[in-house]
Chain A
Amino acid sequence: MLLIRCPYCEETLPEMEFTYAGEAHIVRPENPSDMSDEAWRDFLFIRSNVKGPHFERWRHSHGCARFFNAVRDTVSDRFLTTYKAGEPRPDLASLLSAAGQSESEK
């Protein structure tokens, strides 16, 4: 069972308290009616499905109930970081190098 840090509660808690909520940084367009069919299809359905670091949303359902963002490696399941909804994407390169350092300490 994963341990996840809620950026609002500032606590690391068991996965059971959280719910996965899909890919992050997919913003609902301001005026959906102006969107082409293709653009709307992409917004609804097309996801990056990466092997590796994935920007994704979680909800602290059984805690503060806030939605927040995370970067999780889909291969190792390891969380690289979590951050509040609305904050910009963290820099992946520095996250990975930080993770690499802690990895090599083992």
Chain B
Amino acid sequence: MTNFRVPGRGRVQHGKPVTFTFDSKTFRGLEGDTVASALLANGVHLMGRSFKYHRPRGPVSAGSEEPNALVGTRRGKGQFEPNTRATVQEIWNGLQVNSQNKYPSLKFDIGAVNDRAYMLFSAGFYYKTFMWPKSFWDKVYEPFIRSAAGLGVSPSEPDPDHYASRYLHTDVLVVGAGPAGLAAARSAASAGLRVTLVDENAEAGGTLLSEPQVEINGQPAWTWLASELAELEKLGVRIMTRTTAIGYYHQNMVGLCQKLTDHLKTPDAATPRERLWRVRAGQVILAQGALEKPLVFDGNDRPGVMLAGAAQTYLNRYGVRVGSRAVVATSHDSAWYAAFDLAEAGTFVEAIVDTRQEPRSDLVTEAKRRGITVLAGYTVTGTSGRLRVSSVRVNKVQNGKVLEAETLTCDCLLMCGGWTPSLHLFSHTKGSLQWDPEAQTFLPDRKTEDCQIAGAGRGLWGIEAALTDGRDMGAACAKALGKSPAVASVSVGNDRPGTGVSHTELPTDLNPGKARAFVDYQNDVTAKDLRLAVREGMRSIEHVKRYTTNGMATDQGKMSNINGLNIAADALGKPQPQVGLTTFRPPYTPTTFGALAGYHRGDHFEVTRKTPIDGWAEAHGAVFEPVSQWRRAWYFPKPGEDMEEAVSRECRATRASLGIFDASTLGKIEVVGPDAVEFMNRMYTNPWTKLAPGRTRYGLLLGDDGFIRDDGVIGRLTNDRFHITTTTGGAARVLNMMEDYLQTEWPDLKVWLTSTTEQWSTIALNGPNARNLLEPFVEGLDLSDEAFPHMSIAECTVAGFPSRLFRVSFTGELGFEVNVPARYGRALWEKLFEAGQKYDICPYGTETMHVLRAEKGYIIVGQDTDGTVTPYDAGQGWAVGKTKPDFVGKRGLARPDLAAEGRKQLVGLLTKDGKTKLEEGAQIVFDPNQPIPMKMVGHVTSSYHSVAAGRPIAMALVEGGYSRMGETVYIPMPFGTVEATITGTVFYDPEGERLKL
């Protein structure tokens, strides 16, 4: 294999070889190489297949904008990443790299038949092809598209790496450590500011790394760079490499993704793979430089066809010649220098083909001096070579006419269509852009954030211009932050300033309809596709983009957007600024989910709230379910029991003797103050004035629209103190709503609201033996039914713990809820459980709680109601204080639609066969024989197997349900239609005798 490494050249460590594999074959590179530079040094250009046509592709760039050379990298078990850019990934001994989008092999790929059928796959192909017949969508089209679409394959194992996130506050954030960024950082730091300088590359320097010939202040570029970096460190500048500014958000917050371990063979286990930084900066300096544009011509995607600037980077930074026989095709002066550098390094330059009739004379002279043929006023009309370019077809253009073709032999074609200022981050801020007709590009215009754009990012060209502008912008930021910066002069030698022109697709003498002239390499969009989109009626650039997918790949159109715009504008016959640019969106480069998730994964994905009794439940084999953020015991299976058996046993035991339930998650709010009762009257539907201290009442909370928001039992402790309970999931919402009314509508009320949910442990005892168990523990209270009847509250001690005791029931059995300070919850639970053994006490979970309450027709807000249910719809009209002048929701209830006949009302349902348990959420119809789509008249809200009723029971919201008692409704299910009878919602002890024991 030919070696394309140039001894002694570049910043790679020539004495330090590194081996890695590409498609299982071992390759040798050098320390400091990327995958791309190492493969190119081995003469390998073919690195992948394209997305749609499976065309062979090689790297076209040398940076993060790379659209073609996407590879899969494996660093270890579970550490597989698809779509890694080979131009960015640094190599280390043992790195495994695989090519993508090929079968069976990269050199022979079956999917490449798509390329032969390209006429079928034009713009809008998906929209046009997969329309009919409709029935084909599920079974044919979608599976086909799903298997063919996508770049690479997703990782299949959990990611063992960890990811970190941090905040950073800095006076000045400089994005990009090229000459402009370095100079800006120096200005700002010299003025005494805290400066952070970030760059996505492995080392700082930017263009300077590719242009070692430059002399700055009399020093060679790389010597100057080293001393400048040392100086910045001395000034306290935080320099972060391998760190990409992925997004620019409001008020100068910039998101950074710092890659910490991907370049290391054996990273320290404690080091996160990536760290996401949220940086808040006083001033931001965008010094991101410019991206080189390809030229658009037939066959411009063949491996070996590459941006001239990239070739220059591979040579000067990595010491790699990208070929031994080069043709350079350009519309900009910069590519001439790439040709000169390559010629000097031993590559034979076949010709410099410039689209301009009269290139700069000094460049022409210099080319001639080196014996390089110059073809000025030429166009490129094709390339050939199966897996690597082998020749280029060029034609002289005279007076707009494309003359006869000439063929140039080569193994690489270096192109340059000019440069695009990198405006992505600036666009994130909604900063506006202005079209520069001379440079044929957009430049930053009106700013919305405290930022400056420096260097090539605002259209300046050359190292001296970048250094000067960076210095001045750094000084401007310092001034804006109240500092007076000193400004030093800069002198630059061997600079390579230049200009160029911009093109649509290059003119050709061949049928342009057959040209495979790519604009967006990653999404396989050609110039023809863009023109077709315009012909088919797309007028807005946003439509053209979506129809063709130009600029929609993971590279976000870094190379393709301006070429695409030029072509669309030409096809529309409008100037570019009238056609406009599509919006760049974060992230700047593809970012891992790991970095974005940071610590919030696995157990830390969300807060898990646990009650003080949770540990006991876990030790006693509870199965848990999440209820809002809480983890609640769902049921307590005994060995061999499934859920249904466990729940049946728990239900039976509670109704027969005694059940114990952890109700600590109930929301609790303490309402205190001289106006507490007035506040309660205004918030809840119920009247509270006459509720005596020591008594409780079921409270119903509406929104002002009249719909049920929450419910719960509320105790009045003293004249000015209420203990509210809310639903588990509603606690925060209810407190927020109450605070809203109190603070903003009724600020005159003297009331204080305090969340006490986590201050109390709540243990519910239910069953005929509840009092027998509790009585011996209670001091200072007579528990008899006469002294402490159903719906009472009292303060007392239970087992020596201070307690608020409710006599209340959510099961229909004799029930008590003991509230003790949270720290005593578990101790009390254990005492009660031990003493309860003589009553066969049974711990039960939320599922049994649900069944027992449903047997009694007690609703659960959010399950039996859904935000469109009034108290009357839910059978809770009795809880509405009709004589009160006002409460939240009173006026809402009088809205015509809420008072209308035939609303959906909560009823019971019993399936006719007595065996089928309905599915919660199942839709209900009156007539099962009507044509589809049937008219749905309601749905099942709750459904359980009831031990007490000896059959399945259900509740449902049904249109006009109250007037349909005894009628039959139908529930169509995949297995057949179920018949059910409408009943009341109370299935057990309708007289409530068991509450009065």
Residues of A within 8 A of B (CB): 1-3, 19, 21, 27-28, 31-33, 35, 37, 40-41, 43-44, 57, 59, 61, 65-67, 76-78, 85-86, 106
| Neighbour of A59 across the interface among B447, B736, B747, B886, CB < 8 A | B736
Q: In the complex, A59 Cα to B885 Cα: how many Å?
A: 29
A32: chain B residues at CB < 8 Å are: 704, 886, 890-891
Chain B 890-909, CB-CB to A under 8 Å as 1, else 0, gives: 11101110000000000000
7 contacts between A and B (CB under 8 A): A1-B253, A31-B885, A40-B892, A59-B740, A78-B250, A106-B447, A106-B450
User: B739 contacts A67, CB within 8 Å?
Assistant: yes
User: A44 contacts B278, CB within 8 Å?
Assistant: no
User: B886 contacts A31, CB within 8 Å?
Assistant: yes
B744 at the interface (CB under 8 A from A): yes
A57 to chain B, nearest CB (A): 8
Q: Answer whether A44 and B892 are a contact pair too, CB < 8 Å, given A2-B250, A33-B885, A67-B743.
A: yes
B886: chain A residues at CB < 8 Å are: 31-33
Q: In the complex, A31 Cα to B886 Cα: how many Å?
A: 7
Residues of B within 8 A of A (CB): 249-251, 253, 278, 280, 430, 447-448, 450, 704-705, 736, 739-741, 743-745, 747, 885-886, 890-892, 894-896
A59: chain B residues at CB < 8 Å are: 736, 739-740
A7 to chain B, nearest CB (A): 13
User: A85 contacts B744, CB within 8 Å?
Assistant: yes
B448 to chain A, nearest CB (A): 6
Q: In the complex, A21 Cα to B736 Cα: how many Å?
A: 10
A4 to chain B, nearest CB (A): 10
Q: In the complex, A44 Cα to B896 Cα: how many Å?
A: 14
B291 to chain A, nearest CB (A): 26
User: B890 contacts A40, CB within 8 Å?
Assistant: no
Chain A residue nearest in CB terms to B894: A33
Q: Among B251, B739, B741, B890, find the residue whose CB has the most chain A CB atoms closer than 10 A.
A: B251
Q: Answer whether A3 and B447 are a contact pair too, CB < 8 Å, given A28-B745, A33-B891.
A: no
Q: In the complex, A76 Cα to B249 Cα: how many Å?
A: 11
Query: In the complex, given contacts A67-B740, A86-B744, what are 4 additional A-B residue pairs having Cβ atoms less than 8 angstroms apart?
Result: A40-B892, A57-B744, A59-B736, A85-B747
Chain A residue nearest in CB terms to B704: A44
User: B251 contacts A2, CB within 8 Å?
Assistant: yes
User: A33 contacts B251, CB within 8 Å?
Assistant: no
A21 to chain B, nearest CB (A): 7
Chain A residue nearest in CB terms to B429: A76
A65: chain B residues at CB < 8 Å are: 739
User: A40 contacts B895, CB within 8 Å?
Assistant: yes
B166 to chain A, nearest CB (A): 14
Q: How many A-B residue pairs have CB under 8 A?
A: 61
Q: Answer whether A85 and B743 are a contact pair too, CB < 8 Å, given A76-B448, A77-B250.
A: yes
Q: In the complex, A61 Cα to B735 Cα: how many Å?
A: 11
Q: Answer whether A1 and B743 are a contact pair too, CB < 8 Å, given A28-B704, A40-B892, A76-B448.
A: no
Q: In the complex, A43 Cα to B250 Cα: how many Å?
A: 32
| Neighbour of B278 across the interface among A1, A31, A35, CB < 8 A | A1
A103 to chain B, nearest CB (A): 8
B541 to chain A, nearest CB (A): 21
A86 to chain B, nearest CB (A): 7
B496 to chain A, nearest CB (A): 33
A67: chain B residues at CB < 8 Å are: 739-740, 743-744
B736: chain A residues at CB < 8 Å are: 19, 59, 61
A61: chain B residues at CB < 8 Å are: 736
Q: In the complex, A71 Cα to B704 Cα: how many Å?
A: 25
User: A66 contacts B450, CB within 8 Å?
Assistant: no
Q: In the complex, A44 Cα to B278 Cα: how many Å?
A: 39
Chain A residue nearest in CB terms to B451: A106
B704: chain A residues at CB < 8 Å are: 28, 32, 43-44
Chain B residue nearest in CB terms to A22: B740
B280: chain A residues at CB < 8 Å are: 3
B253: chain A residues at CB < 8 Å are: 1
A3: chain B residues at CB < 8 Å are: 250-251, 280
Q: In the complex, A37 Cα to B892 Cα: how many Å?
A: 9
A78 to chain B, nearest CB (A): 8
User: A76 contacts B885, CB within 8 Å?
Assistant: no
Chain B residue nearest in CB terms to A66: B743
Q: In the complex, A78 Cα to B744 Cα: how many Å?
A: 24
Q: In the complex, A69 Cα to B747 Cα: how many Å?
A: 15
| Neighbour of B430 across the interface among A21, A31, A44, A76, CB < 8 A | A76
Chain B residue nearest in CB terms to A65: B739
B167 to chain A, nearest CB (A): 9
A46 to chain B, nearest CB (A): 13
B210 to chain A, nearest CB (A): 33
Q: In the complex, A1 Cα to B249 Cα: how many Å?
A: 6
| Neighbour of B250 across the interface among A1, A21, A57, A85, CB < 8 A | A1
A100 to chain B, nearest CB (A): 12
Q: In the complex, A32 Cα to B704 Cα: how many Å?
A: 10
A106: chain B residues at CB < 8 Å are: 447, 450
Q: In the complex, A82 Cα to B280 Cα: how many Å?
A: 21
Chain A residue nearest in CB terms to B452: A106
A35 to chain B, nearest CB (A): 6
A29 to chain B, nearest CB (A): 8
Q: In the complex, A95 Cα to B705 Cα: how many Å?
A: 35
A19: chain B residues at CB < 8 Å are: 736
Q: In the complex, A77 Cα to B278 Cα: how many Å?
A: 19
Chain B residue nearest in CB terms to A15: B250
Q: In the complex, A28 Cα to B887 Cα: how many Å?
A: 12
Q: In the complex, A21 Cα to B775 Cα: how many Å?
A: 48
B450: chain A residues at CB < 8 Å are: 106
Q: Answer whether A37 and B885 are a contact pair too, CB < 8 Å, given A1-B249, A106-B450.
A: no
B216 to chain A, nearest CB (A): 30
Chain B residue nearest in CB terms to A43: B704
Q: In the complex, A1 Cα to B253 Cα: how many Å?
A: 7
User: B891 contacts A40, CB within 8 Å?
Assistant: yes
B278: chain A residues at CB < 8 Å are: 1
Q: In the complex, A41 Cα to B744 Cα: how many Å?
A: 20
Q: In the complex, A21 Cα to B737 Cα: how many Å?
A: 10
A76 to chain B, nearest CB (A): 6
Q: In the complex, A3 Cα to B253 Cα: how many Å?
A: 10
Q: Answer whether A37 and B896 are a contact pair too, CB < 8 Å, given A2-B251, A31-B886.
A: yes
Q: In the complex, A85 Cα to B747 Cα: how many Å?
A: 10
A2: chain B residues at CB < 8 Å are: 250-251
Q: Answer whether A33 and B250 are a contact pair too, CB < 8 Å, given A28-B745, A67-B744, A106-B450.
A: no
Chain A residue nearest in CB terms to B251: A3
Q: In the complex, A61 Cα to B743 Cα: how many Å?
A: 13
A77: chain B residues at CB < 8 Å are: 250
